Structures are given as C-alpha cells and as structure tokens.
Amino acid sequence: MKSHNKITLINEIDALITDNIVLCYGHFNLIHPGHLRYLQHAKTLSTKLVVAIVSDKELDKDLFGQHFSEAERAESVANLQIVDNVVILSDYTLEGLIGIIKPEVLVLGKEFEQVQSKQIGLAIKAVCSPSKVVFHAGETHYSTTNLLFRNVLDTEISSKNQLNKICNNYKITLHNLKDRLSCFSDSTLIVIGDTIVDNYVACDALGMSAEAPVLVVKELENREFIGGAAIVASHIAALGAECYYISVTGKDRESDIVSKSLKKQGIIVNLVVDKSRPTTYKTRYMVENQKLFRVSRIKDHKISKNIEQEIIDNLTVLAPNIDGILVSDFVYGVVTQNILDTIVKLSKQFNFKLYGDLQCSSQAGKVSKFSGFDLITPTEKESRIALDDNESGIEWVATTLLKDTNSKNMLMKLGSDGFIAYSSNLADRQDFPALSVNPVDVTGAGDSLFAAMSVSLSSGASLIEASVIGTCMASLAVKEVGNTAIANSKLSQYMSDILE
C-alpha cells in the first residue's frame, strides 16, 4: 500500500471503524529507533495499528520549537510498514477520535503514566476500560535486528541515502563540510582522562579441551594499540587540531608506549606517574574477527590529592590559551569531582567549550556528573543508568538528561542503530544512521565520534554539521581491528565517497 493511501483525513475517519484497532499517539517529528520500538510493541497488542499525529497548531501552541509539517510527519509514519493508518488530528482531539473508532487498545508512552495533560487524561477516560490503556515505550535493547530482514548491502545503501537526505534537509553540502575540516587546525584542545593500552591477540581455534569444557586456542601474534583517552587525543591531532594530553599512568612499559606514540604526533603530553597503579592494559583474544573474551589489568581507585593537584595546576596554566577540554572518563579514578569542578570553573573564566564522554559498560559511573557541558555523548544504556530508568522512551530519557545536566548538546548513542543528536533549545533534533552495518571492530567507534564532534564544534560547526562529520568518522573507525588515528585527509576522502 502506498504511504499516502494510509493517511486518513478527519472526514474519512468513519472508514477506519473496525474491530481489533490499537491506537498510538504522538508528534513524531523525528522518527528514530525509540519510536519504532514503541510502534512495534503496539502492533503486537492487536491487528490494526492506527497512529494519531498531533497537529501543527497544537505543536506551535505548545512552543515545541522547529518541526516538520503535519503532512510531512504523517508521511514519515505512513512509510513504516507496520503502520496501517495515520490520522492527523487537526481540529480533532484524541478523545474525539477514540470516541469514533473505539480502539481495542490505546498505547501511550511510558512518560504519560505519571504525568498527564488534560487532553491525555480525557483520552484515557474515553477508552472506557482501564485495562485497554497501555503505557509502554517498547522493549529496550542494545543491538540491531536489521540484518534479519535486509542484507548488508541494502542496509548500507539505505544508511547512506538517509545521511544524504539529512544533508539536503539542512542544506549542508560537501563543500561546507570540507570547509569545516580545513578549520580544524585553528583549534587548540586539551584531552584529559584514563589512559589504556589495548592488546589484540590473534588466535587459531583448536577445539574443546578433553579434560574440561574449555575452548582451546593457539596464539598466533599480537599487536598493541593506544586506547581510552589517549586514542581520543590521537584522533584530535590526526584531524589537524593542536592537542594537549593530561592523564595518569603507572611507571611501566605501557606508559612509555603511550607517551612515545602521542609525542610522535606532535601532542604535548603530560603523564603523571602513580606508583600505586599500573597503566590500564586490556587484552582481547580473537579468532579472525570474532572476539572470544577480554582480560583487563587495572586499578580503578581514585588518584591521590597530590596527583589531583598536579593535574589541576596543569589545567590552570593551559586554560587561557585553549578552545576546549575533552573529558574522556572511563571511571578508573583519574577524573575526580575536584578536577571536574576546576574544569567547569576555568571554562567560565576563559570562555572555552567543554565536551564529556563517560564509559561505564563494565564499571559504575553516571554521565550526569557532567554539568553545564557543551556536549555529552552517552550511550542509551549510560543515559538510563544516570536516570535509573529502563522503561521510558528514548525521547523522554534524552530530554530529561539534557535538562538535569544543563548540557547544550547531547548525542544519544544507539550502537548499531547510530545515534540521535539533541540540542537543549529543541531546534536541532536529528537521528543519524550507522554507515557500517557489519563492522570489523566497534571498540573505538565512540572515541572517534567524540573526537570528531568536539573538534567540529570547536571549529564553528553546527550540531548537525558536526554530527554528519562524526557519523563518517565513526564509520571509518570500525572498519579496522584496533584503534588507529584517522587523518583529516582520509576523513575528507571518505566523505567525498559517501555524500552526493
């Protein structure tokens, strides 16, 4: 069925009357994975899925900000295969629509369960039976199912087309983006955070042990890469910006590896030695491109007051001459609250930007510790941990986290589903696809995205321009095993290949 045939006008609503209707409701200004989860869950509750779209008049009245027209929003929803009909409410109310089509189930976002407007309250009452109202945001998951329904080539072409459409919508040209890349050399940035050395061990699978249910592999060769905050600094320098690196390491061989690698790129390195901890070292055992398991050598206690003060003194000296600070926090003890407070204070004093990335996949931490930053880049899981909320929709989670952290911009990273860019003024809110749907190694994707976004914003790019650049950067990062700095010229060529 063509999408426009699914859109039902107010005077045609009678044609919708049938049994087994499940009704959903929203503005759907931006169709992202969170909406798809919501609609997919609703579809399981009955046979026919009808979606009611909030009118332009209502959005304008609620000061929603910049939005697509009701016709465009209805068309986007109607293009979804699981949706049977779309109704633009216009002068109609949700309560009135319910009175006519009498849905078997009304599905509302989880955020409406506790706080309801007068209109939503009347709609719920109009359903008659409380058991017919379901508050659900769809099942939360952290991996994609795209490849169950489409092959790799089709999915990658779809992602490329989606990125080009975004550029067209925002009137962003390849020439504009390359101008941004050429300005990267004008920025001076500090990267502070946890240093990691990643060791990749290539193995040959021999089989299962006869004595115990243990996989037996033969080690072939290994290769070491700098990681954590160090690879963020490496990306920054490779993209052309001037970079200072501040971190804490042990007095060991791994510290020397990081120092030599970064200095070779022209990065000004300040590694404070902490004899109470080794430099974090992670070994990943792999058979071909499949990771078997990881072993981490790590101490994650907080740094001493003396080391903390040395870092604060370094930041204070550098602060007057920089454009921004990137905090790459793996929650291993380097980024203390005193250091964060100092960074925020210095940014206000010297008017530079703050960028925060916290990774707590295997350790405890909350991204809400970044207060008043220009950009934070949590994953969906990290966002939900910060809010202690695993049920609400992505939109509510993102909006709440932006407000709680008083951040200007945020990327909600969705793994293989890409990410959604949000601005605090609601003017820019756009989802971006993952261009590489069958990545070789996803380990460094977030670090490369964080680096590209930060350099772009420091160089004057808008949130959407920076997000396009970041999307391309992350796609390059996952095409190889291990963390390797991506040069400005390589990023420029890839953008030429991807963008029309």
pLDDT interval class at 137 (50, 70, 90): confident
- The pLDDT of residue 143: 46
Residue 469 and residue 359 in one domain: yes
CA 231 vs. chain centroid, Å, equals 18
What type of residue sits at position 419? F
Task: Confirm if 159 and 435 have CB atoms less than 8 A apart.
Answer: yes
Taking 50 as the threshold, does the pLDDT of residue 150 lie above it?
no
Residue 410 to residue 471: CA distance in whole angstroms: 14
Digit-coded pLDDT (tens) for 107-121: 998 878 777 778 888
Q: Across residues 285-306, what is the average pLDDT?
A: 91
Dump strand ranges (E) for 80-229.
85-88, 105-108, 133-135, 188-208, 215-228
CATH number of the domain that residue 413 is part of: 3.40.1190.20
Domain end among 111, 139, 167: 139
Q: Coil, strand, or helix at residue 350?
A: helix
Q: Are 73 and 2 in contact (CB under 8 A)?
A: no
Domain end marker among 139, 162, 188: 139
User: CB of 370 within 8 A of CB of 376?
Assistant: yes
d(CA 104, CA 85): 15
Structure token pair of residue 176: 């504009």
Nearest to 348 by CA among 373, 377, 317, 318: 373
Q: Are residues 157 and 124 both part of a single domain? A: no
The answer to whether the CB of 165 falls within 8 A of the CB of 500 is no
Lowest mean pLDDT among 11-20, 46-55, 293-302, 417-426: 11-20
Among residues of the chain, what percentage have pLDDT more than 70? 92
Does 178 lie in the same domain as 312? yes
| pTM for this predicted structure | 0.83
Summarised one tens digit per residue, pLDDT across range 315-374 is 999 999 999 999 999 999 999 999 999 999 999 999 999 999 998 765 667 899 999 999
Residues 131, 255 within the same domain: no
Distance, first Cα to last Cα, the chain: 30
What pLDDT is attached to residue 449? 97
Q: What is the CATH number of the domain that holds 65?
A: 3.40.50.620
pLDDT digits (tens, 9 = 90+) for 175-199: 999 999 999 999 999 999 999 999 9
Q: What is the span of the domain harbouring residue 122?
A: 3-139
Note whether 185 and 48 are same-domain residues. Answer: no
Across 433-456, average pLDDT: 90
Per the CB < 8 A criterion, the answer to whether 434 and 152 are in contact is no
Rounded to an integer, what distance in angstroms lies between the CA atom of residue 322 and that of residue 343?
Answer: 12
Question: Is 211 domain-assigned?
Answer: no
Give alpha helix (H) positions in 88-194: 94-101, 118-126, 152-169, 174-182
**Residue 322 is assigned to a structural domain of this protein:** yes
- Structural contact between residues 477 and 444, judged by C-beta atoms closer than 8 angstroms: yes
* 330 and 450 part of one domain: yes
62: pLDDT strictly greater than 70:
no
Q: Over pLDDT 90: what percentage of the chain?
A: 59
Q: What's the structural domain count of the chain?
A: 2
Among 293, 294, 311, 290, which residue's Cα sits nearest to residue 302?
A: 311
**Residue finishing a domain among 73, 107, 139:** 139
Q: Are residues 33 and 135 in the same domain?
A: yes
389-444 residue pLDDT tens: 888 888 888 989 999 999 999 999 998 889 999 998 766 688 999 998 778 888 88
Q: Are residues 85 and 190 in the same domain?
A: no
Note whether 91 and 170 are same-domain residues: no
pLDDT at 427: 60
Average pLDDT over the chain, rounded to an integer? 89
Tokens 């027209």 identify what position?
69
User: Do 191 and 308 belong to one domain?
Assistant: yes
Same domain, 110 and 174: no
60 and 186 fall within a common domain = no
